[in-house]
Amino acid sequence: MQPQAPRQLVLLTVLTALCIGLQLSPRPPNVEFTSLIVFLVGAVFGISFGVSLAFLVMFVNGFLSPWGFAGFVLPFQVAGMVAVGIGGGLHGRASSGSHGARLCVETAVLGAFLTLVYDMVTNLGVAASYALTGMPLHLALASTFISGALFSVIHVVSNAAVFGVVFVPLSNALRRLSGGGENWKEESLLT
């Protein structure tokens, strides 16, 4: 096992707990920070880390969500959040030349796009669950996308704002925090 692995495992666990805590906390409908954290982790630690966090968070959330067991929609929620993690990883690779306001705008646009992708994938899952009950698929798709439109707009706009404002300072802080031995003093806790 690589020397970084235990540290990353701890980080994955802590961030998963943070995301679940945020998911369970009272908040306006469709305003959430899980996708930001998954995107951020993907950008800072790579695609595999982002995907792992996305899978773990949405899997646990599917069982503990205040809305109840996600059931048939759970794999779609996981897939949608995995897309956010992959997007974060790709953004982390591609944004090395960007900084400042431009990076904020790029991240906001990407956040809005990935949020829309997440919403569309989960709406697809809801529509599929309707279709399983006998509703024609095209009708299930139309009713799901249209009835969820306003919630989706709230989700997209709020995430665009959150990604644009929070991502850059948070990613800088996370990079410094995980910078290696100089930040992580290897000494006994019992000093």
Partner 1 sequence: MERRVFTYIALALLVWGISGTATAGYYFVQYRMYWNEYRHLSNLMEFVSLRVNILVTYGNGTRAWFNNTVLPINATAFTAILAVADVKYEDYGGDAGILVTSINGLAGDSTHGWFYWFWDAEGLEWVYQSYSCAARILHGGDTFAFTYQSFGITWPPPFSP
Q: Rule CB under 8 A: which residues touch partner 1?
A: 105-106, 109-110, 112-113, 116, 120, 142, 145-150, 152-153, 156
DSSP letter, residue 101: H
The DSSP secondary-structure symbol of 59 reads H
User: Dmax of the chain from CA atoms?
Assistant: 67
Which one, 62 or 88, has the nearer CB to partner 1?
A: 88
Least distance from partner 1 to the Cβ atom of residue 152, Å: 6
Say how far apart CA 48 and CA 53 lie, in whole Å: 9
Q: Tell me, what amino acid is at 112?
A: A
The residue (of 112 and 127) whose beta carbon lies closer to partner 1 is: 112
What is the smallest separation between the CB atom of 97 and partner 1, expressed in angstroms? 9
Q: Are 86 and 47 in contact (CB under 8 A)?
A: yes
CA distances in angstroms from 169 to 7, 44, 54, 173, 189, listed in the order given: 22, 12, 21, 6, 29
As measured in angstroms, the least distance from the Cβ of 106 to partner 1 is: 5
CB of 50 to partner 1, least distance (A): 19
Q: Which CB, 82 or 110, lies closer to partner 1? A: 110
The Cβ of residue 11 has, within 10 Å, a number of other Cβ atoms equal to 19
Q: CB 62 → partner 1: shortest distance, Å?
A: 24
Which residue from 126, 155, 145, 122 is spatially nearest to 54, judged by alpha carbons?
Answer: 122
Nearer to partner 1, 64 or 94 (CB): 94
Closest CB to partner 1 among residues 20, 83: 83
Q: 57 vs 86, which CB is nearer to partner 1?
A: 86
Per-residue burial over 113-130, b = 16 or more CB atoms within 10 Å of its CB, e = otherwise: bbbbebbbbbbbbbbbbb
